[in-house]
């Protein structure tokens, strides 16, 4: 779908999704799940301008929403920051950066990158210890910010490393622990001594908070940050320690409001969505209140899961007549023209999607902003009004059949008036698409 805003692209998407639902209800030979990434909430929620697809077909649609609304039945759409620390840190960083005016350790924290568990498992001995401790530190920050966790699941993610981390135990030596807790006692005027090694998430958080206080306030050269290999913490570690237990400032309170994006049961989210699609439901992901980075995270995570599920069916010879359609708006944000990596999931949709019965419907204002790799694989076009001659010429380059209708595209601004080109009808046909719900 191409065309300027407010001229009917979303309406065409609703018409296509609606037609698919109605076609499926009249036959049983085919199955087709539909997945709509609803960035403005218009497919999930009825507003004063349009009726929603969910309200029109409530028995066939399932909404997942970041912010649930009383008037729209939905399931929560969340991610688990604990089980995917690399992506979790990236999302938190983007949310913090959106706040603006960050400085000091908060700005440094927002720019951190964490390793994945897969990367950790392939590291050498010393690097693995450092990497797991980074993840444990991140967990401690989340725990102090009251992000809920499934502790049994988390503990199994960090296996025992000799002389290093083990579940919720960072694996610091007895000598280091004695130094840390003796310093804490001296600072507080108590004599609690060295506690037992951590066995829970909150106990680990206390251990790292104590270490943070020691690192930031003592003069111990063993814990300095000049980059020597025998030192316990590197610069990124110290940034996280400072964020966990700063001498001044809000610390972990910076991310407390982001709990609304988290759920310890988010891993089940993927299975629920896949099950709904396998049952030919139309799944609407209401991302209307999400930051762009959060939208991209969910789009990539769920799109990858859909691709893997269809690929699994293909390789096990159980694909049969089961299709999936994915709907993307503002597509230039997900697959821009400047993309250099043609191995992402969207490129795989374009190259291999037909084989796995995956269709993709995407819309944007300008054809010149979309990845050429994707455009080359696109078969069906709906084009509304374009106001730029450059965009009209770009469309002609994308598909030669549009080469003779540029003037019409530039001149006519009627909402819903589209120039349609389909795989089954290789001529540009002008159509007036009816208003959805009318």
Digit-coded pLDDT (tens) for 49-106? 889 999 999 999 999 998 888 999 999 888 899 998 998 998 899 889 888 889 899 9
Counting other chains too, the contacts that 185-190 makes at CB distance below 8 Å and 24 or more residues apart are 187/213, 187/217
pLDDT confidence of residue 229? 54
- Looking at the chain, the domain(s) classified CATH 3.40.50.300 span 9-78+266-432
Mean pLDDT over all residues of the chain?
90
- Kindly tell me if the per-residue pLDDT of 223 is higher than 70: no
Q: Maximum Cα–Cα distance for the chain, whole Å?
A: 86
pLDDT confidence of residue 101? 84
DSSP structure string for 280-327: T-EEEEE-TT--HHHHHHHHHHHHHHHHHHHHHHHHTT--TTEEEEEE
State in words which class domain 9-78+266-432 has: alpha beta
358 phi and psi, to 5 degrees?
A: -115, 125
CB atoms within 10 A of CB 326: 24
Kindly state the tokens that stand for 137: 């530190």
- Asked if 273 and 302 touch (Cβ cutoff 8 Å), the reply is yes
pLDDT confidence of residue 226? 47
**Residue in the block written with tokens 């991302």:** 287
- Kindly tell me if the per-residue pLDDT of 26 is higher than 70: yes
DSSP β-bridge partners for residue 382: 420
Taking residues 332-351, report their average pLDDT.
Answer: 79
Q: Each residue of 418-429: pLDDT tens digit?
A: 999 998 887 899
Q: Each residue of 167-222: pLDDT tens digit?
A: 999 999 999 999 999 999 998 888 889 999 999 999 999 999 999 999 999 877 66
CB atoms within 10 A of CB 389: 12
Can you tell me whether residue 120 is helix, strand or coil? Answer: helix
């Amino acid at each position: 779908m191409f065309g300027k805003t407010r001229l009917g692209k979303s309406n065409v998407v609703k018409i296509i999704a609606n037609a698919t639902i109605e076609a499926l209800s009249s036959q049983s030979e085919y199955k087709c799940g539909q997945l709509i990434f609803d960035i403005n909430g218009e497919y999930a929620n009825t507003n004063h301008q349009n009726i929603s697809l969910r309200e029109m077909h409530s028995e066939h649609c399932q909404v997942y929403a970041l912010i649930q609304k009383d008037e729209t039945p939905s399931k929560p759409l969340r991610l688990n920051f604990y089980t995917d620390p690399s992506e979790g840190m990236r999302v938190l960083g983007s949310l913090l950066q959106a706040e603006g005016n960050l400085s000091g350790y908060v700005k440094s924290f927002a720019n951190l990158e964490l390793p994945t568990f897969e990367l950790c498992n392939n590291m050498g001995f010393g690097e693995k210890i450092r990497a797991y401790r980074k993840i444990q530190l991140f967990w401690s920050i989340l725990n102090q910010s009251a992000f809920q966790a499934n502790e049994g699941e988390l503990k199994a993610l960090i296996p025992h490393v000799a002389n290093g981390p083990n579940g919720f135990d960072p694996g610091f030596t007895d000598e280091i622990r004695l130094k840390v807790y003796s310093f804490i006692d001296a600072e507080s005027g108590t004599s609690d001594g060295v506690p037992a090694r951590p066995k829970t998430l909150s106990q680990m958080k206390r251990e790292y908070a104590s270490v943070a206080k020691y690192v930031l306030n003592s003069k111990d050269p063993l814990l300095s940050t000049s980059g020597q290999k025998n030192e316990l913490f590197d610069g990124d570690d110290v940034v996280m320690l400072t964020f966990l237990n700063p001498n001044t400032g809000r610390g972990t309170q910076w991310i407390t409001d982001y709990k609304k994006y988290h759920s310890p049961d988010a891993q089940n989210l993927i299975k629920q969505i896949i099950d709904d699609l396998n049952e030919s439901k139309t799944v609407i992901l209401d991302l209307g209140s999400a930051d762009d980075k959060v939208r991209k995270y969910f789009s990539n995570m769920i799109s990858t899961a859909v691709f893997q599920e269809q690929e699994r069916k293909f390789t096990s010879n159980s694909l049969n007549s089961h299709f999936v359609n994915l709907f993307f708006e503002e597509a230039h944000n997900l697959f821009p023209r400047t993309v250099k990596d043609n191995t992402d999931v969207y490129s795989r949709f374009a190259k291999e999607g037909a084989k796995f019965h995956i269709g993709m419907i995407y819309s944007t204002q300008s054809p010149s902003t979309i990845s050429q790799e994707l455009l080359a694989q696109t078969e069906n076009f709906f084009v509304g009004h374009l106001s730029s001659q450059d965009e009209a010429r770009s469309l002609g380059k994308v598909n030669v059949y549009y080469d003779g209708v540029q003037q019409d595209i530039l001149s006519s601004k009627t909402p819903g008036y589209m120039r349609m080109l389909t795989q089954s009808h290789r001529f540009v046909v002008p159509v007036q698409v009816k208003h959805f719900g009318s």
